[in-house]
Amino acid sequence: MKTNSNRSFYLIPYVVWMLLFVVAPIVLVGYFSLFDLHGNFSFVNYQNFFTSVYLKLTLSSFWYALIITGFTLLIAYPTAYWLTKTKHKQLWLLLIIIPSWINLLLKTYAFIGIFGVFGPINKFLELFGIGKQQILYTDFSFIFVSVYIFIPFMILPIFNSLDKMNPTLIDAARDLGSSTWNTFTKVIFPLTINGVKSGIQAVFIPSLSLFMITRLIAGNKVITLGTAIEQQFLVTQNWGMGSTIAVFLILFMVIIMILTGQKDKGELVNGHNK
């Protein structure tokens, strides 16, 4: 009884934190979404969200998030696989993770200089007679910078899944005559699917709400749900509509987490059935 009471006591800070910084903000967002621009109780914000303007905005956000996640996965999976085969894998993993510790705003401004008209990329193109190109404020620059920023968050969970996988399973598949492609599709990828799902959650969900990169790198030519929320709160001062978009963004995040949730009942890791 005493042990149970001690455990309950230690849970108090966690519960208080969750109530103040998770539950309360969500409740406030839901509350403000029920008021129009003039402060009157109304469901007009929810009606406006289902108009063509916001539906196109939502589809655009999902499209860019899908592209960013796809490119990130294509780069991260081979990289994570290569890391598991290197001698100093923990050191290489640390070098990949270190850039994520740098402030996002600093990295964004660094890419503004890199992709600028007088930046090193255009200087390099001039050496080949191509001339200066408008790289900044394009879809390419937006996707490139986003992929660069999110790659460590995709590599880490995939690396952990690959590193924990029993290598004898791969040897067994090859001994049975399985090709390299079949070994990957039938053995390696299914056993690391949970790491892929975690990586997708870590990349796709934040990609839906990007706003700093869209403003500084894409020059507001790319509008996402995060950009729309920022504009509603800071530009038009329509807190109700901004809160309504935030409510739907939260719902989208919950749906994505459910779809990419881990449902494994047992997994062979290092020869043991978990």
pLDDT digits (tens, 9 = 90+) for 176-211: 888 889 999 999 999 999 999 999 999 999 999 888
| pTM to 2 decimal places | 0.88
Domain chopping of the chain, boundaries: 54-226+256-271
| pLDDT tens per residue, range 42-93 | 999 999 999 999 999 999 999 999 999 999 999 999 999 999 988 888 899 9
Which residue in the block uniquely carries the two structure tokens 């230690």? 10
C-beta contacts of 225-233 below 8 A and 24+ residues apart: 225/57, 225/58, 225/61, 225/249, 225/252, 226/61, 228/54, 228/57
State phi, psi for 35 to the nearest 5 degrees.
-125, 140
C-beta contacts of 132-139 below 8 A and 24+ residues apart: 136/112, 136/217, 136/219, 137/217, 137/218, 137/219, 137/221, 138/218, 138/221, 139/218, 139/221, 139/222
State the Cα–Cα distance between residues 46 and 248, nearest whole angstrom: 9
Say which CATH superfamily domain 54-226+256-271 falls into. Answer: MetI-like (1.10.3720.10)
State the Cα–Cα distance between residues 242 and 226, nearest whole angstrom: 9
| pLDDT tens per residue, range 234-258 | 888 999 999 999 999 999 999 999 9
